[in-house]
A and B are shown apart, each in its own frame.
Chain A
């Protein structure tokens, strides 16, 4: 379903490759943890999947679609089919929680009735139904990350990308987030998780891809955090 075909990314001439000759395939419904030190190339690899970065060499495929060659219209469609969660949450600060999640549905063209039904439902799923009218700055880091997950999930994407989702969270909140991600994966969504948190990777206990200096150095189907 997702295929990185000998992908290299060099940000500017003379700089070392952020990602070097990576070939990786991910099947539907997999939970893949991508681990490695800071600067190993994990985030760049994921950014190529939702076309925030284009590869210098090689290509990335999502099903039949070659991502770097997509038109702007198809790219927007792709992004609506890939949920994204980041370390810094990236919520819209001037919109309340309901509006933050509704926004993702509105851009996907959902009707007002669907939005009114789906937003409370997805917030219940992440345990934040009672904070629906709060603004992001009124929530804790863990709660904001759960809102980000809710927003990423609400369009029922095929893939959920979580880039260091626990990086700003304490261990208890980090554990809660991982449990939510596992539940989402159990429902059939492919999850790609980058982290350098050993506890997180070990508690997931699924496929682990290890990166170092832009290259994939290990790919274990039932791995643990090994650097």
Chain B
């Protein structure tokens, strides 16, 4: 670990005139393997390291980062951060004030059993070769794809308030993707979830138990069956979502909407703002009584789990929505202070070269009761949709439209006709208020979203969502 580099950068920033400074030395390793139709599509490893220095000068922010954190370059980078902060003061604003936080010292590492970087390439490739071989045995399948993604991030954080932290997070994931093409239709099924499968804060033991080989044939068969299915009809109906699609539903229509930087207009020009305002705390009826949402950075296995965020604030479990009523935002030391609160510890940066932003931790729906089968069995007439395929939502997180890979008609508590190209649309609060069933712990899964984009320059974060299947009433499906 390189805590001494972070400390040196903080000292240099203070010497250059910073009132507050923090610095992160980050070393990242990643490995990605993709196999398609039993041929290698890509295998690559990447490493990157550097240091980012963030400063406050007279209440104005500056940030600079370098990939050569050695010698005079550290002081030069710290000095540049100070120069940037001084330039920001050209446009007067209320000086930034950070909420108090006790200086943190210590180490933290995400738990795992088997280091996936020590598993042989032969074993990894063999797993994907066998899974895609089994998918290819299904007649009519065009492409059988499998992928493995591994990430390890080591961060050394120091601040001028005395924090000195070293953390290591390890994320591992894998998945399958089956594509069938015929007659102007392209249909896809994924396992365990779309967009590179199921990624978690874990080691090889997580990938080994995903059941890629066991589920390969079913995944491919459904993709082929979708080619001859009927298009999802356009109607207003009862909608049951599997936990995989609920991951996306929570992410887009709750997770982003409760980011306090968006609420305060700090992302207005890029990703947008939010329909939620500070005055909504404790008042806004966001959802039905059955819906409680928690931001939990302490849960094992989540992509949004850590010991401290990138401001040195300890990981927390924060109620966001309690029995349908909005309670609190995910926030930073700056933004929480602006509305008279304390940071919920949600600041994270993408690598060493970007400044930290408010990012989702693990935004989870608290489990209700019953299994997915119970919810479907309790539904007389409606639609069941599974696995996200497409997403779109407006700049205030109000109007959304999401597509899924597959749907079935529910009749008398049973799945009947299969539909292809299903999608649904709604208004965020109307939709969540119509929720009348949330599944229990037995079908609750802690998913990982590896591709959450935000900020300028663009940053990508890996965030978590623990979700259960759920049911919604009077939903418009089949938008054409």
- Are A and B co-members of a single complex? no
